[in-house]
Structure formats: C-alpha cells, structure tokens
Structure 1
Amino acid sequence: MPEEAAPEEAVPEEVLFERRGRLGVVTLNRPKAVNALTAGMVAAMLDQLTAWADDDGVAAVLVQGSGQRGLCAGGDIVAIYRDMLAGGDETAGFWEAEYRLNSLVARYPKPYVAFMDGLVLGGGVGISAHGSVRIVTERTRTGMPETTIGFVPDVGGTLLLSRSPGESGTHSALTGAHLSGADALFLGLADHFVPSERLADLAAALENEAAEAAVGRFSGHAPASGLEEQRDWIDACYAADDAEEIVRRLRAAGGEAAEAADTIEAKSPTAVKVALASLRRVRGLSLDEALAQEYRVGLRCLAGPDFREGIRAQVVDKDRNPNWRPATLGEVRAHDVERYFAPLGDRELVLLEKETGRA
C-alpha cells in the first residue's frame, strides 16, 4: 500500500487579531524574526484597523508583539535584499502600504495603545510611535538604525526625530543608536513607562476600562535618560548642517562625543549625509508630507549601492565589513545628496489622495 502523505504543518498567521471585551488586539506573530513586518502583515493591519475604526464595539486598539524579544525589529530587510537582487518592484509597493499604515496610526480615531517592549526598531517605530498611547518598559531598546545598512530613517522617523529636544534626534538618527525606554520618553517617541511584568494586567484592564484611566493606574516613573544627560555636547556638536563639521565638533569634544564620531564614520557616508538633510528638510512638514519625502529617498536608496551592501554585510553574510561607495563623508558631494530628494513624477506617494480621495 502506498504510504499516506504526512499532513502539512499549518503555517501560523503572521499577525493575529482578536476582540477582548471592547479592546481590539493586534499581535505581531513572527517571534523568531522579532516580528519583522512583511507585506502581508501590513496589508492585514491596514484592513483590520480600518474596520475597527468604524466599529462601535471597539473602544480602543492594542498593538503588541509575540515572544519575548520585542514588539517589532522593523521591516523584513532580507525580503528587500532579495527583491533588489531580482530587480523587482515589490519593495516600493511594500513601502507604499507601510506608509499608509503609519499615516492611519497617526490619525486613528480611537486610543491606539502600543506596547513598545523589547526591540522596537525601524518599521516597529512606525507602527507604535505615531500612536496616541505609547508605552515603554525597562526592556525597551528602540531606535532608527538605518544608516548602519546604508539606508535612511523612514516610516515618519525623520519627522519624529526632528521634533526631539535640541539635536538629540539628529544624534539618534546619524549614529543609529539603540535607545532605552527612558531615552524614548525624552525623545518624544513614547508617553508612559510601565514595568514589563505589569503589561499583561494592563492589557486585561484595557478590555473594559478607558485607556487613559487604565494606563494612568499602571504607569510609573522611568529611570533617568542617558541621552538627556548628554544633551549639552549633543546640542553643541550636532547644530551644524554639515556632517563633516558635526564629526569635527564631536572629535574636538572628546569622550563620549568622540565615540559618536567613530560610530558615524563607520556608517554609510551617503546615508549619513542624506539622513542629515532629511531631518533638516522635514521641519514644518506634516506626517504625510514627511512620508512622501522618505519615499523619494527610499526609492533612490534602492537604486544605489550602499543599501544592498549594508544588508549584505549586516544580515546576509554577517561579516560586518561593508564596502561603502563612496567610502568617506568628504567624497559625498552636495549634488549627490540633492538627487535623493528630486520629485518622482507619477510615482510620487500621495497618501491623502489614496486614503480619502483628496489631494
């Protein structure tokens, strides 16, 4: 007799949705990948959040990550790498949907509670830090580490960091540093500090209580922010609009500032200069305008050499030895940076038009 075929293992859903009382719960469900976002996850979240926005039975939404490592480590950059190698256009479509999701989160009509526990990087910031109730813990490690892989902060991150106190956002963007929960509060990326051991109880309270009241009962005092304690030299050194001048000032300041200079000079020189220009240009823009600017920059990064090389060195081959082109800040000219911001013509990202029918 022929052997019976073994039953296929069910593939777990990458994002889970459930109703608990009057709470809509979104659980990112790729724990082995620290819940990195895929195109399917983004599309599913857009659909479900849109439905809950009009559902009178849902009073608030909670977004959390499965597993013990974090909410979300960002977008799935291995998928982006494969798309670049194949010469595809899937990444552009992924970003368009992701930025629509970021825009929706920012204007969500109900309390949008994000548990920013563990790792919350890149795209994870986009689905949390634009929300109305942003909670960090003693385990939080957040940030926008894109310059490490030859990319530039996106998902509205340039706008968020441009609004941080003094030049702390510039420092965070150029160095790509991982930040504590206290640092996130200082930067304006979060609102409340709740010990991680109390998150489950808070989630239960949110099922029937108003979000503001429930979060108020569970919130506590955060530890001191190391970033805030470094404010003096950060503001002095990063006030320049030229990356090479920033590095010179950091070296002259010595100590932790000089270490920051070393960090910046190890990143993609092109990404550092474009990130700095992005932060300066985004001031005064709306979120949707900022996302449109980031989309222009992102498509130019896809076409350049450093984004692919950065992912290769950090994630694919893991040799941590990227070959940046150009190799130094001094070789990246002003006109090179300017090209990243040039209009895209009929490929421009127009979020309001896509969401509401208005330009």
Structure 2
Amino acid sequence: MTVPVTFEEHATRDGGRIGIATLSAPRALNALSRDMIDALDARLAQWAEDDAVHAVWLDGEGDKAFCAGGDVVALVGALKREQQGEGAPGDFARGYFGAEYRLDYRIHTYPKPILVWADGIVMGGGLGLMAGASHRLVTETTRIAMPEITIGLYPDIGASWFLTKMAPGVGRYLGLTGASINARDALDIGLADRFVPRAERQALLERLLDSEIIPGTADDAEAAVVTALDGVEDRSQAPLGQVQPHLDHIQALTNRARVEDAVASILADDSDDAWLAANRSRLAAGCPLSAHLTWQMQGRHRHSSLADAFRDELVVSVQCGVLGDFAEGVRALLIDKDKTPRWCHRDVAAVPETDLAAMFSAPWAGQPSPLDDLT
C-alpha cells in the first residue's frame, strides 16, 4: 500500500540537497494517518544524519489544507473494535498518539532548518507538525485552529506547553473556544515566523535551491534559509488580525482562578463581534470534560519541559478515548454528523473531581511510558 506522503531530494547549486516531504492525502485534507506519521518520522531521522541534506521543506498537497489534523475517525474505529474484544482498550490510541508526539518532538529538536509551508487549513495534528519547526511560514489563506473541545479531546501535540508561552490568557482562550486564527494572528502570538504570499511558494523553493552552503554547518544552512526568506516575505499582504485587537478583552474574560469561572465569563460576554461570538458558541456546545482538561493541562505545563508535556499528553489523550467523550464527539461531528453529542457531563460545573483525576492516571500502570526516552 502506498503511504500518502511523498519524499523528494532536490539538488542545491553547491551540490547539496533540500529534502522535500509532502503530505499527499488532499481529499482528506492531509489528515495524518499512523502510516503517514511513521513514514515522515523515519525520513526525518534519515535526513538528520545525511550531511548533504541542508534543510527540510514540509507541506501538504492541494490548495485547501496543509494538514487538518489527525485521523480521528480511524482512532474511534479502533476504540470500538477494542471494546468488542479486539485488543486492550486504548492500545491503538497509545501507539498512534505516541508515534505522533515522538514525530512532533523530533521536529521541535531537529538539528537542521525545517520550513513548514502552512498554507490553508492547519488544525490539531497539523499544528503539531508546524509548531516546532524552525521556519513556520503562513500565507493569506492560513487558518489555524485547535477545535478539540468540539470532539471531546483537548489541545495536545505539545500545545499544553506551547500555548502557555503566549500572552497570559490567550492560550487558554484559544483552547477553550477552539478559535480559528489567521496568519496575522499566528505571527502576533508566536505560532508563525514569516508571512509569504501563496504566489511566492515556487520562487522561495528556487531561492533555496540556489543556495551555496557546502562546506557547511547548521549555521550556514540557517543563514541561507534566512536569506531566501528575506527575498519573498511581504507582511503588508497579511490579513487583519483578530487576537491582538481583542487582547485586553480576552485577558479580562480568562483572568480567573478556576475553569468554571472562565467558562462562565466567556459565555456571559455580550460582545457582538462576529469572531468572539463564534468562539462563544463553540464553547457553549463543547465538551465540559475537555474544558477542564484544556485548563488543567496548561496549568500543569506552564513551567515543565516539552518532553514532560508530551508524556502527560499521551496519558490524557488515551484516556479521552477509554474513559472520556472522544468517541462520542467524533461520532457526532464527523461520523453521523448530527452535531448533537451526548457528553458525559451536563456542563463544566458538573464534572466531578474523581472523573477528572481518572484522566491523568496512566493506563499502563507501573510500566514505563512509551515516551520515557524523550529528554
């Protein structure tokens, strides 16, 4: 079976190479399957050791999405089979999320420049691929979101760590509401590094291939990438932002000690701004347990290491399927598409501490975490 990721190596002017990886499942908006994750991780490991590969370029096929997230439908299908006796509950999720987070961690710690062409839709797992790259490139069509609250999950893929690096309150607001942000927002809050108009994609690739790096170091490669980007960036074409103009308002809404109070504050907001209203509606219909997880995970990892955040996320993500609302959320939104999920809890205030505590209990009791080797 062909894995929907293509790999190419293009020669640079000095005889080196640029590795190009393309997510090639445009009909599924390049959603990440386990096979895609494994193939990409293996090739990145190979390119990291190849001295002739100066840099890596990662993008998605088609003009709609870089990557719309993980293959959550496959995850729910596996959970149902496990419930029917085909394996232990959560086995597939543990393997899937473990491999995904390992790939994301590799990108965060990669020894060479990685450029991510984040054009179009970037959600969930797609943001996981983007967030740790050394050069995160956004365009006029970029739309980024972590709408996990709509499917009974929470912002994972390292978001428990990187959302806390934003201005106070912003990460929690984005996680609680699943807000959609554009390229200007991504630049403002630290999720993107450069704005490159979509029409300049090929010109940028050509500039990279015209680089001279050999005999080179990682710093030489970085300098060549920066020079190439300098020639195509044009922030004057970026759309107007949504987060920065509302920053004071967002912080006033989320400056609360408890998630129950923050949710109540957001839901009681009477602003008629269209973006704020859409975010408010998404939270109102979202999973109560997910709101708690979003809040707690960012609190737990405000001062932790990235590796510790990934290890904690692996526990919670598996338990979202085994004990939580993940399967029901995906059913309602993506399988049956009735958009009427039957959450386990009536509202955020109704989530008991015992149910929340269970989400942080490792399902591999007493055994090493599959991500213990991350440092």
Which string of whole-angstrom CA distances, capped at 9 and with x for unpartnered residues, describes residues 219-251 of structure 1? Answer: 111333111111011111112132221133234
| Equivalence for 1:47 | 42
- Give SS of 1:183's match: helix
Letter in 2 for 1:173: G
Percent identity reads: 35
How far residue 258 of structure 1 moved from its aligned partner, in angstroms, is 6.2
| Equivalence for 2:332 | 313
- Give SS of 2:325's match: helix
- Contact in 1 for aligned 2:185/2:243 (Cα 8 Å): yes
Matches within 5 A, 1:195-234: 195-209=197-211, 210-221=224-235, 222-234=238-250
Letter in 2 for 1:39: R
Matches within 5 A, 1:72-151: 72-87=67-82, 88=87, 89-151=91-153
Structure-1 separation of matches of 2:210 and 2:247: 41
Which string of whole-angstrom CA distances, capped at 9 and with x for unpartnered residues, describes residues 173-211 of structure 1? Answer: 111122111111122111110111111211222223211
Letter in 1 for 2:252: A
- Contact in 1 for aligned 2:144/2:181 (Cα 8 Å): yes
How far residue 161 of structure 1 moved from its aligned partner, in angstroms, is 1.1
Q: Does 1:161 align with 2:151?
A: no
Higher deviation after alignment, 258-267 or 104-113 = 258-267
Structure-1 separation of matches of 2:277 and 2:32: 35
- Give SS of 1:349's match: coil
Q: Does 1:330 align with 2:349?
A: yes
How far residue 352 of structure 1 moved from its aligned partner, in angstroms, is 5.7
Structure-1 separation of matches of 2:267 and 2:278: 8
| Equivalence for 2:217 | none
Which string of whole-angstrom CA distances, capped at 9 and with x for unpartnered residues, describes residues 34-89 of structure 1? Answer: 11111111111111101100111100000000011111111111100100110142
Structure-2 separation of matches of 1:214 and 1:60: 12
Matches within 5 A, 1:207-356: 207-209=209-211, 210-221=224-235, 222-255=238-271, 256=273, 260-344=279-363, 345-349=365-369, 351=371, 353=373
- Give SS of 1:272's match: helix
Unaligned runs of 5+ in 2: 12-16, 212-223
- Contact in 1 for aligned 2:116/2:135 (Cα 8 Å): yes
Structure-2 separation of matches of 1:71 and 1:269: 29
Aligned length: 345
Structure-2 separation of matches of 1:247 and 1:351: 32
How far residue 259 of structure 1 moved from its aligned partner, in angstroms, is 5.6
| Equivalence for 2:219 | none
Structure-2 separation of matches of 1:214 and 1:15: 25
Structure-2 separation of matches of 1:177 and 1:248: 17
Structure-2 separation of matches of 1:20 and 1:298: 38
Q: Does 1:69 align with 2:64?
A: yes
TM-score (norm 1): 0.91
- Contact in 2 for aligned 1:292/1:348 (Cα 8 Å): no
Distance 1:295 1:201, change over 3 A: same
| Equivalence for 1:5 | none
- Contact in 1 for aligned 2:259/2:291 (Cα 8 Å): yes
- Contact in 1 for aligned 2:143/2:182 (Cα 8 Å): yes
Distance 1:227 1:306, change over 3 A: same
RMSD value over aligned CA atoms?
Answer: 1.7
| Equivalence for 2:25 | 30
Higher relative contact order (CA 8 A, sep 6+): 2
Structure-1 separation of matches of 2:3 and 2:266: 47
- Contact in 2 for aligned 1:61/1:111 (Cα 8 Å): yes
How far residue 253 of structure 1 moved from its aligned partner, in angstroms, is 4.0
- Contact in 2 for aligned 1:75/1:122 (Cα 8 Å): yes
- Give SS of 1:91's match: helix
Distance 1:158 1:305, change over 3 A: closer
Structure-2 separation of matches of 1:45 and 1:161: 24
Higher deviation after alignment, 107-116 or 186-195 = 186-195
How far residue 336 of structure 1 moved from its aligned partner, in angstroms, is 2.3
- Give SS of 1:201's match: helix
- Give SS of 2:154's match: coil
Which string of whole-angstrom CA distances, capped at 9 and with x for unpartnered residues, describes residues 249-285 of structure 1? Answer: 2345421456644331210001111111111111011
- Contact in 1 for aligned 2:3/2:39 (Cα 8 Å): no
- Give SS of 2:62's match: coil
Distance 1:199 1:348, change over 3 A: farther
